[in-house]
Chains A and B, each alone.
Chain A
């Protein structure tokens, strides 16, 4: 049977341990939260990426937008857009037709066909298709973008 003394001690230890865990734990959590980056939620934004006539007939090109690289292709009059980011490890693909493929990734030689499907190489999944329209001779692609973390104008005082 534990003595009253040692029971008191035990109880005090438990209280101390819990309180210390709460206090120091809260401090540690705040410090870790500080380090975790503040990231804005994604938004869908439409960007003009190329003049419609810049896309070669039955060909393709990689266009640049402030929100990333876009692979555009013309397939007998059908305009398609994909993210030009290789699904393997993030390199930018190129229009480089070859045996059964049209898109080629220089990093590990992944290849994709006109529908964005993987033909050969290490990429684990097809290219991400992107909504695309043409207006006034301009190609517009809808991209998922995070706004950059902006600084408010004021000075803390």
Chain B
């Protein structure tokens, strides 16, 4: 087979590759359309005023510093029984009544259980907030915490 013929073969194959990639582009546009339709719009207006106040209480007393933004968790606590991390708060609505949650915040967690009994004491524990958070602030905070994770908005912030 002559060199020229070979060059044309390679050229045809290259064009075939190009054509295949054009079709790829079409498939990609389709995916982009479908995905774009699934993106949740970002809005803070979806929170009612009490939840908005509650969120400010959460930030004011530094709860996010240990429990993560919007209670997402992920902050390390060496040898803590809760998987070596401070627990997130997105599931509290499943395990606490409003009264229990308020009491938990007031009491704090003076000693954190060790994952490995022979290991070191977990360095971080939750202080008692009974002298700091009360009344309207406590109500708003509890309402906010109970709203976390429930019908999770697709966006991680709000």
Contacts and interface: CB of A to CB of B under 8 A. Distances in A.
Whether A and B touch directly in their complex, counting CB atoms under 8 A apart, is answered as yes
Given A22-B14, A43-B41, A15 B59 contact: no
Interface of B is mostly: helix
B43 interface: yes
A56 to B, nearest CB: 16
A147 to B, nearest CB: 4
Interface of A: 8-9, 12-13, 15-16, 18-20, 22-27, 30, 40, 43, 45-48, 50-51, 64, 66-67, 136, 138, 145, 147-148, 150, 152-153
Given A30-B24, A45-B42, A12 B4 contact: yes
A120 B42 CA distance: 37
Given A20-B11, A147-B40, A152-B35, A8 B4 contact: yes
B21 A46 contact: no
Given A12-B4, A40-B39, 17 more contacts: A12-B7, A12-B11, A15-B8, A15-B11, A16-B8, A19-B14, A20-B11, A22-B18, A27-B21, A47-B44, A48-B56, A145-B42, A147-B39, A147-B40, A150-B155, A152-B38, A153-B154
A40 B36 CA distance: 9
Interface string B35-56: 1001111111100010011011
B17 A43 contact: no
A46 B45 contact: yes
B81 to A, nearest CB: 30
9 contacts: A15-B8, A16-B8, A16-B14, A19-B12, A23-B15, A48-B44, A48-B53, A136-B49, A150-B154
Contacts of A45: 42-45
